[in-house]
Structure 1
Amino acid sequence: MEKDMELKPGSRWKSAVCTSEVVVVRPPKTPVSLECGGQPMVALAATAPEGLELSPDFSGGTAVGKRYFDEAAGLEVLGSKAGKGSLAIDGKPLNLKEAKALPASD
């Protein structure tokens, strides 16, 4: 697992096994490996490695406009392009951040 990823706010990453892309909203507190579809993600401008396959364990999909987070690591990313792979860090699935309910206006 690559832990030398520079997950800075605003940095963009793409999956090596599907069409998913994300933007880092909040960086992790410690170095982690950001993964999609069971494989490490690569910088948007980089060439994805060949021969990698989508893991059935991480095929739940990534949605556009949804935020994904890991409380322990402090990482939060925003889906910028949908894909078949699901997001994880160090093999642990990221949680989908639910939208906050707006207060009722009576």
Structure 2
Amino acid sequence: MTAVPLRPGDQLASTVCGTRVVVIRVPANRTPVITCGASPMIPAVNAPTVAASGAPRTVIGKRYVDVAEGVEVLCIAAGAGSLSCDGEPMTVKAAKALPASD
């Protein structure tokens, strides 16, 4: 399968669950394949609505990253599938600690 070129701001949808993400960061020189539930994600514009099933594994409002690839996405709709980038699981990005305001 040929990977769809990604740009920051693109919305992707899962074909197996209700997960939807917005691309935040992607390397300019690569075209990574982002999958959810082991199935490639597609542009959200063309995506059919998938009924929710099972406990959500992707959490709305969380950023998921693949540090090795330099890819970052923001989950805008939770779903039961797990996110991966080029076959490697994506992890939840840790929030930065705010400075103390003493």
TM-score by length of 1: 0.82
Measure how far apart 1:3 and its partner are. Answer: 4.3
Output the amino acid matched with 2:4: M
Structure 1 alignment gaps of length 5 or more: 49-58
Q: Paired residue for 2:73, among 77, 84, 87?
A: 77
CA deviation vs aligned residue, 1:23-45 (integer Å, no higher than 9, x gap): 00001342211000111001101
- Contact 1:69 1:76 survives alignment (8 Å): yes
Aligned CA RMSD, in angstroms, stands at 1.9
Q: Which residue of 1 aligns with 2:11?
A: 12
Give runs of ≥4 in structure 1 deviating > 2 Å. none
> Identity percentage over the alignment?
45
Cross-structure match for 1:35: 35
Question: Counterpart amino acid of 1:4?
Answer: A
Q: What's the counterpart of residue 45 of structure 1?
A: 45
- Return the offset for 1:60: 6.8
In structure 2, the gaps of 5 or more residues are 49-54
How many residues get paired?
96
Report deviation, 1:6.
Answer: 1.7
Q: Which moved more, 1:63-72 or 1:28-37?
A: 28-37
Residue matched to 2:57: 61
Distance 2:47 2:56 in 1: 24
Q: Distance in 2 between matches of 1:96 and 1:88?
A: 11
* 1:89 aligned residue: 85
Question: How far apart, CA to CA, are the structure 1 residues paired with 2:3 and 2:81?
Answer: 22
